[in-house]
């Protein structure tokens, strides 16, 4: 039951639902000029978790070939195209290997027709995770014409190539407008969606008890756009005590993990403001075993109120809430 969201309307009264395959969907983001603290959300849910292959109208990005044999990556100056074998996971600054998924460290491996693979191979886009507070920079400008998305490095002739040559590093630091603060004793696994890509919630941010971690507040004006529309970062928040390996996966019905986690967190930045949201996961009818509220950091200017307490939302709406950060930063405080 995957759904991809951006930030949400305060009322959340008009949530669009459909049933794409797990490797489809999008994060759609519309910001209302007349109400700067309000952001819309479009959701897509896959109740069957069925994988389909659809003919894509777009073609893959043309990439130059290379005769280099070295599997060593030159870290100074960024990622070097054609030097890392597709069978080797890169070690660029900020990149994180997701070994528990069984894809050789990759977040997902897909081609333009939404076919998937368990290994990075020729003709496929090999998507990857970045450290908390960072986002991947690589996705092709040519995207599938049916609304699906692909992202990551491209495998050609056995070697990896960037799909966005305008970025030399594979990961970039996001806006520092938000962080997660865990006041509970158990750790909390926040699982960001692999987007653009499979949209599975596999990219981990683990917040240990008494600790904090940055939230990726993506700059929507420069980040990936779906058919010309801005997109944001989305996290599925597992119950406290669930590990990254158990929670940052495509879950099963009744498991309360992954796409069945109780709460979804959204974050994005545009037009000089950050938008932070909490919404329920419509796939889950179980209350979370934590409370969470969005609070302003010292000296920050935050508009709106948003909290989830005792299984209910408090703030702009009963089905979720959003705040805007005009200056400074805010915290998702778990307690």
pLDDT in tens, 130-167: 999 999 999 999 999 899 999 999 999 999 999 999 99
Distance CA 263, CA 260 (A): 9
- CA distances for 11 relative to 7, 15, 83, angstroms: 12, 10, 50
Q: Which pLDDT score, from 0 to 100, does residue 45 have?
A: 33
Distance CA 202, CA 16 (A): 24
User: Per-10-residue mean pLDDT for the chain, 335 residues long?
Assistant: 38 29 43 32 34 30 34 60 98 95 98 96 99 98 93 99 97 98 99 97 99 98 94 98 98 93 98 97 94 98 97 85 98 99
At CA 37, angle to CA 35 and CA 41, rounded to 5?
Answer: 95
* Overall pTM > 0.85: no
Q: Which pLDDT score, from 0 to 100, does residue 49 have?
A: 37
Q: Which pLDDT score, from 0 to 100, does residue 13 have?
A: 31
Domains and CATH numbers, the chain: 54-173 (no CATH), 174-334 (2.60.110)
Query: 244 with 279: CB under 8 angstroms?
Result: no
Q: Which pLDDT score, from 0 to 100, does residue 27 have?
A: 56
Q: Which pLDDT score, from 0 to 100, does residue 92 have?
A: 85
How do residues 30-87 score in pLDDT, each as one tens digit?
333 323 333 333 333 333 333 333 232 332 333 333 333 333 344 456 999 999 999 9
- CA distances for 66 relative to 84, 85, 134, angstroms: 11, 11, 29
Classify residue 218 by burial, with Cβ atoms within 10 Å: 0-12, 13-18, 19+. buried
């Amino acid at each position: 039951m995957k759904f991809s969201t951006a930030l949400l309307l305060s009322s959340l009264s008009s949530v669009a639902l459909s049933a794409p395959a797990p490797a489809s969907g999008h994060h759609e983001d519309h910001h209302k000029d007349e109400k700067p603290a309000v952001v819309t959300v479009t959701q897509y849910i896959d109740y069957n978790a069925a994988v389909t292959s659809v003919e894509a109208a777009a073609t893959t990005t043309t990439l130059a070939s290379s005769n280099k044999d070295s599997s060593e990556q030159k870290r100074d100056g960024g990622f070097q195209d054609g030097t890392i074998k597709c069978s080797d996971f890169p070690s660029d600054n900020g990149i994180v290997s997701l070994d528990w998924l069984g894809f050789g460290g990759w977040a997902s491996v897909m081609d333009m027709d939404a076919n998937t693979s368990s290994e990075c191979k020729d003709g496929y886009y090999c998507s990857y995770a970045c450290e908390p507070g960072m986002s991947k920079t690589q996705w092709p400008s040519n995207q599938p014409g049916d609304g699906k998305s692909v992202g990551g490095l491209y495998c050609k002739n056995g070697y990896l190539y960037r799909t966005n040559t305008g970025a030399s590093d594979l990961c970039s630091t996001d806006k520092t407008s938000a962080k997660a603060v865990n006041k509970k004793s158990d750790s909390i696994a926040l699982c960001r969606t692999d987007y653009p890509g499979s949209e599975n919630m596999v990219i981990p941010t683990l917040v240990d008890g008494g600790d904090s971690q940055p939230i990726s507040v993506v700059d929507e004006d420069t980040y990936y756009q779906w058919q010309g529309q801005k997109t944001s970062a989305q996290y599925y928040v597992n119950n406290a005590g669930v590990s990254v390996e158990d929670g940052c996966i495509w879950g099963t019905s009744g498991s309360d993990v992954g796409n069945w986690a109780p709460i979804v967190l959204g974050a994005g930045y545009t037009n000089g403001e950050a938008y932070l949201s909490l919404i329920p996961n419509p796939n889950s009818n179980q209350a979370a075993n934590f409370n969470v509220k969005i609070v302003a950091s010292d000296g920050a200017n935050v508009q709106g109120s948003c909290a989830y307490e005792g299984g209910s939302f408090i703030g702009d709406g009963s089905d979720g809430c959003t705040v805007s950060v005009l200056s400074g930063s805010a915290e998702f405080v778990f307690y």
